Amino acid sequence: MQSKTISSPVGARRATFTEWIGRDPTVTMLCAFILAAALVFGALTPTRFFSGETFRAMAFEMPELGILALAMMVPLMSGGLNLAIIATSNLSGLVTAAIVTSLIHPSSSPMAVAGVIALALLAGMATSLLIGFITGYIVAFLGVHPILVTLGTMTAVKGISVYVTNGGVIGGFPAAILWMGNGTLLGVPVSMILFIFCAVVIALIMTHTPFGVAVRLIGSNEKATRYSGVATNWMLVGVYVLSSLLCWMASIIMMARFNSARAGYAESYLLITILAAVLGGVDPNGGFGRVLGLFLSLILLQEISTGFNLLGFSPHLTEAIWGATMLFAIFIALLRNQWSLRLWRSKTAQ
């Protein structure tokens, strides 16, 4: 595997775009899928699919699932899983919503409104940070399987939301919050900007900080990482805190888009986030994954959803196609592995 393009020491020539794409088979495959889907939908609905309106609709719909998928990706990279992401989002959304709706009155001055919104957002952040810390602490220091811990936190956190609201809705927000979900900046949806910001930050954290490297190493082999002197326990706490922080970001967008907060919003997204991450090349066993892959897989899923919507199919068919796409992607990856194995064997046989 020691080819020139793969080992690139400092000062080596920059890889061309095709090399850069080709280095990651998942990215190549997803680009091909996206292109193929665009061609099919473009052929079936030529005027409507390639229109500014369609792209804007896609850009408005993607960030919610996108940020939640990022929140799922980080624990997946560490070899874990966070089933509590939706519950965390909803509870921190509810906390924010409760503060905003109870403290802001029509007569409040703009300064007071800004102050209350800042306070509410901070309270929501504190809520999700607390949930993330508790989850991470139990995973790291008690050594419980993340599926079990997050199953527990999910049930408990959702239980709190349901208990406090009696299953009801808290709604009616000032324009500033609605703007984060429905407004645009230079023609780009604000929520999309927030999502891209989160994606870039997570990509940088995972590749360019000691924390990110440690997380990926823990995902590959936790014991070896611990014996090489990394404080794996605290890194794992960090993983779940970071995941919860992303849930808080998602909660703001969800709140703004629905103009309300509730205990049971977006529950069907939970397993879809795992699907999106794995389709984007995140190894469910931990250790490997790129934000770029996740981003492409989200574009593909959104494209399928929007395209079927334009063709007049029900959203349920879209979900079925999502599931089938996942299985198909696993199949392609298997073929690719077998093919490269055969290539390797024939090379070593010579």
Partner 1 sequence: MRKQVRLVFRHDGQLALIIAAMAIIFSIVSPAFRSTGNLVSLLENYSVMAIMAAGLLVVLISGGIDISFAAIAAVTQYVVALILINAGGNWLVAFALAAAFGGLLGVVNALLIYYLRALSVIVTISTMTCYFALLMFVTEGKSLFNLPDWFTDDLTFWSIPFPVLVAAIVLIITAFILSRLSIGRQVYGLGGNPEAAKRMGSNVLGLQCFVYGYSGLMAGIAGLVQAHRVEEVVPNALIGRELDVLAAVVLGGASLTGGIGSVSGTILGIVLLAILQNGLTLLGVSSYAFGFVTGVVILLSVSATAYTAKRQARSSARHAV
Give the interface with partner 1 as residue ranges (CB under 8 A). 83, 138, 142-145, 147-149, 151-160, 162-163, 166-167, 267, 271-272, 274-275, 278, 284-285, 313-314, 316-320, 322-324, 326-327, 330-331, 334
Taking the least distance from each CB to partner 1, the nearer of 88 and 191 is 88
Taking the least distance from each CB to partner 1, the nearer of 16 and 314 is 314
Taking the least distance from each CB to partner 1, the nearer of 157 and 202 is 157
Q: What is the DSSP letter of 245?
A: H
Q: How far is the CB of 147 from partner 1 (least distance, A)?
A: 6
Q: How far is the CB of 347 from partner 1 (least distance, A)?
A: 23
Are the CB atoms for 136 and 241 separated by under 8 Å? Answer: yes
Are the CB atoms for 180 and 256 separated by under 8 Å? Answer: yes
Q: How far is the CB of 135 from partner 1 (least distance, A)?
A: 9
- Write the DSSP string, 326-342: HHHHHHHHHHHHHHHHH
Beta strands (DSSP E) in the chain are 169-171, 184-185, 188-189, 260-262
Are the CB atoms for 164 and 260 separated by under 8 Å? Answer: no
- Write the DSSP string, 38-84: HHHHHHHSHHHHTSHHHHHHHHHHHHHHHHHHHHHHHHHHTT---TT
Taking the least distance from each CB to partner 1, the nearer of 203 and 332 is 332
Q: How far is the CB of 308 from partner 1 (least distance, A)?
A: 10
Q: How far is the CB of 145 from partner 1 (least distance, A)?
A: 5
Q: How far is the CB of 92 from partner 1 (least distance, A)?
A: 16
Q: Which residues contact 312 (CB under 8 A, 6 or more apart)?
A: none
Q: Which residues contact 114 (CB under 8 A, 6 or more apart)?
A: 176
Token output for 288: 């490997």
Taking the least distance from each CB to partner 1, the nearer of 314 and 340 is 314
Q: How far is the CB of 167 from partner 1 (least distance, A)?
A: 7
Taking the least distance from each CB to partner 1, the nearer of 116 and 139 is 139
Taking the least distance from each CB to partner 1, the nearer of 100 and 326 is 326
253 three-class SS: helix
